[in-house]
Amino acid sequence: MNIDFTQQEQLGIKRLWGKKNREISSVNYDSRRVQKDAAFVCISGENHDGHSFLEDAIRNGAAVLAGENASMLEKASKKHADRTFVLVNDARAFLAQLSIVFYKKAHEKLITIGVTGTNGKTTVTAYVKSLMTLLGTPTGSIGTTGIISSRGKINLKKSTPTTPESSDLHYIFEQFHARGDKAAAMEVSSVATEQKRVEGIDFDIAIHTNLSPEHLEFHGTFENYKEAKLKLFRQAKKAVVNMDDDGMGKDILDMYTGDVLTYSLDKRSRADVKASNLRTIGHETFFELNVQGDSYIGRAPVIGDYNVANILAAICTAMHSGYSIHQILLALTSVDGPEGRFELLTEYGNRKIMLDYAHTPAALDNLLREVKKLEYNRLIVLITGIGIRDASKMPLMAEAVEGKADDIVVSVDHPNFTDPDEIISNVLAGFSDPASENIYTGRTRADGVLSALELSEENDLILLTSGCINGAQIVEGKEVPHSDKDIIKSFFNDDSVDYDYDYIQA
C-alpha cells in the first residue's frame, strides 16, 4: 500500500526524515518479522526498547521506521538516507492507527464486539460467537483460546495471551472478512486498553462481565485496573452490563450515555434481561427468562449459575444486533462454549476429569460452588500460582479452595523467571495449615497434573484449574509446549510423557 505520511493526521506524526510517500508491504513491531518494504514501529515493552532493533529491522528490509526517540531516529536517518524515519507522539497509538490505514479499516466491515471483565471474558466471547453465528451472522472470535473464524480455527501465533497487538488484530479482522465473517467477538484485557491495542476502534457493542482485583502487578491499584476496563465503554456505541457485579457495573451505568442492556440472575433486579429458577438436568440448564417484563422458558447446554449469567450477556448482544427473543431462544439450545471452561472429560473409566481456566480467587470460588452440585466420591483440586501475575493473589487461591476438596495439589503456571518453589510457598501461605496431609505440591504443571491423577480413584472428580488451555508454559522467557490432555491420555495409557521444563537450577 502506498501511504503519504503527511496526509494522515490520525497518525500523530511530529517529524519525518526521508521520503514522505512510501509503498509499504506490512506493519510490524517485531524486527524478526520484518520483510522487504515493511513499516517497523519501535515499541517500548517491559523488557526491551524497540529502538534498539532499528538496525535489525533495516537489515531485514524495513522501508519505514517509526518511534518516539528523536535522537536515535535522526541518527539512523543520516546513516540510511534511503529509508523513511518517522517521529511520533505515541508509538503504540501510531501502530494502531497505521494498521487501520494499512488494512483499509477492515474492522468497520464487521460488527465489533468487545468483552471485558476479570472473569468470564473467554466464555462470553465463545457464547457470543456461537449464538450470533447460529442466528445467521457468521462471527469470528479472538482471545485466550485462539483465533477462530466462523469456519474454524485460524493457525496464527498470537502476540499476547488474550488481546493481540494492534497490527496483528487488524490483520485478523481482514482475515475474518475474507472468510465471510460479518462480526468479530473479542476479549479486551485491561492491559490491552492501556497499551492502546484497540485504539481507533469504535466498538459496536461492549460487554461487561464482572470486576475483582487482578493484574495489579501491571496497574498498581484496583482503581487503575477499573479505569483501564472502563476505557472500552468510552469507545463503544452500545453496552451490555452485568447488574449483579459490584466491582464495575454501577460505574459503567453512571458514565455511559449510549444504548445499554443490563442482565442479572436476581429476579428482583431492574435488569432488562433476567434468569431465575435455574435447574440443571444432565449437561443443560433450564431457566425462566424475563426480558423487559415478558417471561419465557430458556434452555442452554451449559452448567453453572455463572455460565447462565454469561449466556445472558450473549442474549443481550444478540438483542442489540436486532434479533428477536424468539429467534434467540431457538438458537440458544445449540450454543457452543469454549474449550477449557467447565470442560468435563468422561472417557477415563468412572473418573471425571474437569478442565477449567479459573485463575482468580473469585473464579475459583464460583467454580467450586458449581462443582459441588455434581456427583462424585472424592474431589481432588489442582490450583496454581502464576509467575507472570500478581503475587499477592496467590495466597487467596489457597483460601478459596481450603476446606472444599478432599485433596489439594499446589503447582505452578508460567513461572517465567521466578523460582517455582517461591511461587508454591506464596500459595501455601494462604492455607491455615500448609502442612496438612491433604495438601501436595508439584514444581511444574505437568507434575501437578500427574499428582492429581495419581491421588484419584474410580468415581472421583479431578478438577484441574488455571492455565490448562494455553498450549504452552512460559519458562525463562520462552514458550514451552504443554497440554493437560496429552498428560492425562498418557497417564491412563501408561505411556511416558516428558515435559522438560524443570528449569530453575537450585
Closest CA to 356 of 392, 405, 307: 307
Averaged pLDDT, 143-156 = 90
pLDDT of residue 339 exceeding 90: no
Averaged pLDDT, 18-42 = 96
What are the pLDDT digits (tens) for 409-429?
999 999 989 999 999 999 999
pLDDT of residue 505 exceeding 60: no
Contacts from 494-497 at CB under 8 Å and sequence distance 24+? 497/446
pTM for the model stands at 0.85
Place of cell 452448567: 303
pLDDT of residue 282 exceeding 90: no
pLDDT, position 161: 72
Cβ-based burial of 12 (10 A; exposed 0-12, middle 13-18, buried ≥19): middle
All 3 cell numbers of residue 442? 508439584
Higher pLDDT among residues 467 and 175, named by residue: 175
Place of cell 497440554: 483
Q: 451: pLDDT confidence band, cut at 50, 70 and 90? A: very high
What is the C-alpha to C-alpha distance for residues 365 and 414, in angstroms, rounded to an integer?
Answer: 22
pLDDT of residue 468 exceeding 80: no
pLDDT, position 46: 64
Closest CA to 199 of 118, 97, 341, 115: 97
Assign a CATH topology to domain 343-492: Protein-Tyrosine Phosphatase; Chain A (3.90.190)
All 3 cell numbers of residue 478? 520462552
Enumerate residues 6+ apart whose C-beta is below 8 A from 157. Answer: none
What is the C-alpha to C-alpha distance for residues 485 and 491, in angstroms, rounded to an integer?
Answer: 10
- Tell me whether strands 2-4 and 21-23 are parallel, antiparallel or unpaired: antiparallel
pLDDT, position 501: 54
Q: 498: pLDDT confidence band, cut at 50, 70 and 90? A: low
Cβ-based burial of 207 (10 A; exposed 0-12, middle 13-18, buried ≥19): buried
Domain boundaries, the chain: 2-102, 106-332, 343-492
- Tell me whether strands 407-413 and 111-116 are parallel, antiparallel or unpaired: unpaired
Cβ-based burial of 468 (10 A; exposed 0-12, middle 13-18, buried ≥19): buried
Closest CA to 303 of 377, 354, 370, 375: 370
All 3 cell numbers of residue 51? 529502538
What is the C-alpha to C-alpha distance for residues 63 and 463, in angstroms, rounded to an integer?
Answer: 52
Averaged pLDDT of the chain:
92
- Across the beta sheet with 236-242, the strand order is 152-154, 146-149, 139-143, 183-187, 111-116, 203-208, 236-242, 259-264, 273-281, 284-291, 294-300
Averaged pLDDT, 220-241 = 94
Closest CA to 162 of 128, 195, 199: 195
Closest CA to 252 of 226, 270, 273: 226
Place of cell 514444581: 443
Closest CA to 74 of 2, 148, 18, 20: 18
What is the C-alpha to C-alpha distance for residues 114 and 430, in angstroms, rounded to an integer?
Answer: 34
Could you give the percent of the chain with pLDDT greater than 70? 96
Q: How many CB atoms lie within 10 A of CB 454?
A: 11
Helix (H, G, I), strand (E, B), or coil: what is residue 297?
A: strand
What is the C-alpha to C-alpha distance for residues 129 and 87, in angstroms, rounded to an integer?
Answer: 39
All 3 cell numbers of residue 178? 475474507
Averaged pLDDT, 260-278 = 97
Could you give the percent of the chain with pLDDT greater than 90? 77
pLDDT, position 506: 28
Averaged pLDDT, 120-144 = 96
pLDDT, position 496: 59
CATH of domain 2-102: 3.40.1390.10
CATH of domain 106-332: 3.40.1190.10
Counts of helices then strands in the chain (DSSP H, E): 16, 26
What are the pLDDT digits (tens) for 31-88?
999 999 999 999 987 667 899 999 999 999 999 999 999 999 999 999 999 999 999 9
